[in-house]
Amino acid sequence: MKTKTIQLNIKGMTCDHCATSIEKYLDVNGIMDKNVSHKESRAKVTFDEDKISRDKIEKLVNESGQYKVIGISEIKTNSVNKKHLIIIGGGSAAFAATIQAREMGVKITMVNDGLPIGGTCVNVGCVPSKTLIRAAEEVHRAKNGHFKGIETGGQLSNFAKVIEQKKEMVQTLRQEKYINVVKDMDDFRQINGRANIVSTTSIKVNSETIRGDNILVVTGARPHIPNIKGLADVPYLDNESAFELESLPKSIIVLGGRYIALEIAQMFSRLGSKVTVLQRSDRILPAEAEDLTNELTNHLENEGLNIVTGNQFQQVSEQNDNIMVESIVNGKLQRFKSEKIIVATGRTPNTNNLGLDKVGVKLNDKGFIEVNDYLQSSVSSIYAAGDVLGKNMFVYVAAYEGKLAVSNIYSPIKKKSDYTALPWVIFTDPQIAGVGLDEVQATEQKIDYDVSVLPLSYVPRSIAARDTRGFIKLIRNKQTNQLIGARILAPEGSELLMEVATAVKFGITVEQLKEMFHPYLTLSEGIKLAAIGFNKNIKELSCCAT
């Protein structure tokens, strides 16, 4: 591959929309990267000379008829082939960064310690939690059918077997999606060891000093253990140990009421543990609107979870092989006792003892790394990505940022990180899925909005399944009629998310959403019905409403 970057000076652009149009014309095979600026009347394009010529690129713009290339110059890049990137961390951000760096001809040293290679997601996060959540769902469904005349049954008979299967899955995915990906990679070296930054371009690991041109810090985060008297002295579990239990605890206290806590709590409850969720705030998921958290609370409580909010924790202790949490709730001292306690009260960054302070990398008050829009830290040669930034702690964001950081280090085309329309999911049942703003955030941003809320009892798919838990909420900008956000509480609600995320990202109007065919008896009909609900009373519509 012979890559080259050129700058095209272009006449005729009047607004950002023109820049977007030109980027679309340049969306062809052979063009690897592009950045068009209407303010600077130019496009920067990186392309593969074996696949496309600069004349062809010029023609792509001129053929629009509206824009004209008036000059082309080559942007000389330092030969990235001679560059050496040190990546500290071996999780998802690190692997996305590695792949991008190799595609750009950069030599890589990846240093990982703590968790096995692959980091949080595959070893102790997404993969183990989601497969165990599915196992728990199977047990729950076996016991709780929705149809009369069908005998339900089935139960958890061998917890250790379920855990063993989970371990096998983790091992397989770690091998296939991480270890094998870099196994035969040229100019790639992986070291197991604790990295310590010793200068702005070098690290020390296992008493070896490694010099590079840049450092990418992708060390992730670990469970945050709150400062509650006695907690550190009891054998508490967290996401790194809870998924490894060999036998199912009879009872569990889950400390925390955000997404990781709730997913774990429902999972163990469905498998058969008696679960109590203890949350400091007045509500679970306190960052979300009340209707959402109240309804989820009801569904979880109906399944038998004990959810206690508004805790002022006093002390945690171990008593006769049980854990006791003493807490003041509504002014009264309460004692909660269980066989195990799982701490899921947030994440703390892996930035300690890394040497960041020695070279002047700025951290925020919680210890997460501060970066600019290009993911560059306060030290120009050091970039950071993923959970260590503490912002959007999802694996697909970590991968996006890892790739973007590398591209910004070595490409002449620098791109800002963009989190518009970032979709997210909480894997409880019903799931919570969200994108864009909710009504509280829209109010804060002084947007003239309105809301359409559609209970699932109006969605034919849910009616047919006899499971109408939840609702779909769409939020639109009244001035533009465009969707600005959505919150979905529904069984498998995450599968609805990308339609609304696409609408939010690309400014699709409620009218356009309504005009789309949505197959009858799919859950996605709910999106159309909710869109119709902005202007019509859904109760009065016939089947396949339009």
Ligand X SMILES: Cc1cc2nc3c(=O)[nH]c(=O)nc-3n(C[C@H](O)[C@H](O)[C@H](O)COP(=O)(O)OP(=O)(O)OC[C@H]3O[C@@H](n4cnc5c(N)ncnc54)[C@H](O)[C@@H]3O)c2cc1C
Interface with ligand X by CB under 6 A: which residues?
88-94, 111-115, 119-121, 125-126, 129-130, 194-195, 218-220, 239, 260, 350, 354, 386-387, 393-396, 398, 427
The minimum distance between CB 220 and ligand X, in angstroms, equals 2
SS3 192: strand
First to last CA, the chain: 51
Q: Which is nearer to ligand X, 258 or 476 (CB)?
A: 258
User: Whose Cβ is closer to ligand X: residue 195's or residue 483's?
Assistant: 195
C-beta of 405: minimal distance to ligand X in Å?
Answer: 11
**Euclidean distance between CA atoms 544 and 546, whole angstroms:** 7
Q: Which is nearer to ligand X, 90 or 491 (CB)?
A: 90
Nearer to ligand X, 91 or 434 (CB): 91
β-pairing, 340-343 vs 251-255, is parallel
Smallest gap from Cβ 425 to ligand X, in A, equals 7
Q: What is the distance between the alpha carbons of residues 33 and 26, in angstroms, rounded to a whole number?
A: 9
Shortest Å, Cβ 397 to ligand X: 7
- CA separation for the pair 100, 79 (Å, rounded): 16
Nearer to ligand X by Cβ, of 89 and 533: the residue is 89
CB 467, min distance to ligand X, A:
22
Q: Smaller CB distance to ligand X: residue 93 or 451?
A: 93
**Radius of gyration, alpha carbons of the chain:** 26
SS3 173: helix
Nearer to ligand X among residue 115 and residue 513 (C-beta): 115
Q: Smallest distance from the beta carbon of 283 to ligand X, in angstroms?
A: 21
| Minimum distance from residue 115 beta carbon to ligand X (Å) | 4
Q: By C-beta, is 52 or 500 nearer to ligand X?
A: 500
| DSSP letter for each residue of 132-145 | HHHHHHHHHHHH--
Pick from 141, 144, 139: nearest CA to 155: 139
**Least distance to ligand X, CB of residue 71, Å:** 42
| Residue 210 parent element (H or E) | strand 208-211
Cβ nearer to ligand X, comparing 112 with 311: 112
Q: For the range 202-210, what are the long-range contacts, defined as Cβ-Cβ under 8 Å and sequence gap of 24 or more? A: 202/86, 203/86, 203/88, 203/111, 203/355, 205/111, 210/86, 210/109, 210/111
d(CA 266, CA 530): 28
- The whole-angstrom separation of Cα 287 and Cα 239 is 22
Q: How far is CA 323 from CA 164, 214, 226, 341, in A?
A: 26, 47, 16, 7
To the nearest whole angstrom, how small is the minimum distance from the Cβ of residue 271 to ligand X? 16
Return the number of the residue (260 or 510) whose C-beta is nearest ligand X. Answer: 260
Name the residue type at position 416.
K
CA 149 to chain centre: 41
- Give residue 538's identity as a one-letter amino acid code: I
Which segments of 437-480 are extended strands (E)? 449-455, 471-477
Task: Decide whether 260 or 421 has the Cβ nearer to ligand X.
Answer: 260
Q: How far is the CB of 269 from ligand X (least distance, A)?
A: 16
In angstroms, what is the minimal distance from the CB of 305 to ligand X?
Answer: 18
Q: Is 177 exposed, middle or buried (0-12, 13-18, 19+ CB in 10 A)?
A: middle
- Nearest distance in Å: CB 232, ligand X: 20
Separation in Å, CA 299 to CA 138, 469, 541: 17, 8, 28
Comparison of 91 and 491: residue with beta carbon closer to ligand X: 91
| SS3 of residue 170 by DSSP | helix
Instruction: Give the separation between CA 463 and CA 105, rounded to whole angstroms.
Output: 55
The answer to whether 117 and 174 are in contact (CB under 8 A) is yes
CB of 90 to ligand X, least distance (A): 5
Q: How far apart are CA 281 and CA 297, in angstroms?
A: 13
Other C-beta atoms within 10 Å of 447: how many?
18
What does the DSSP assignment read for 271-318? HT-EEEEE-SSSSSSTTS-HHHHHHHHHHHHHTT-EEE-SEEEEEEEE
Closest to ligand X by CB, 92 or 311: 92
